[in-house]
Amino acid sequence: MAFAVVAATVAQLIDLATFARMVVVSGPTAEANPLVAALLVDHGLQFVAVTKIAALSLIVGVIAVLASRDGSGGHRRLALAVAMIAVCAGLFGGWSNVIAIV
């Protein structure tokens, strides 16, 4: 399960790093997510970065709780599904940011 948490974290940080570069190169209008674009325009890049890290912390916590082996044995498949969704979302976000940069 530790690998799943690390993979989700790395994928989401790739998304954040490529997002920051995309904003510098292409401006805030390049962001496809209207919520993130509004946060960026209203509060700046630092706020978006802190929000991303807070959301990532929440996801890692959910994975840890679901994978817990105390008591009922946990829900390892659900924890892996959450981690896989986080990895896919991060990689897709990073890929779309790189496409916007190029």
3-class DSSP state of 32: coil
Average pLDDT over residues 14-32: 93
The full set of domain ranges for the chain reads: 2-101
Q: Is residue 1 very low, low, confident or very high in pLDDT (cuts 50, 70, 90)? A: confident
Q: pLDDT digit string (tens) for 31-63?
A: 989 999 999 999 999 999 999 999 999 999 999
pLDDT at 73: 64
Q: pLDDT digit string (tens) for 63-89?
A: 999 988 766 667 889 999 999 999 999
63-95 burial: b if 16+ Cβ within 10 Å, else e: beebbeeeeeebeeeebeebbeebbeebbebbe
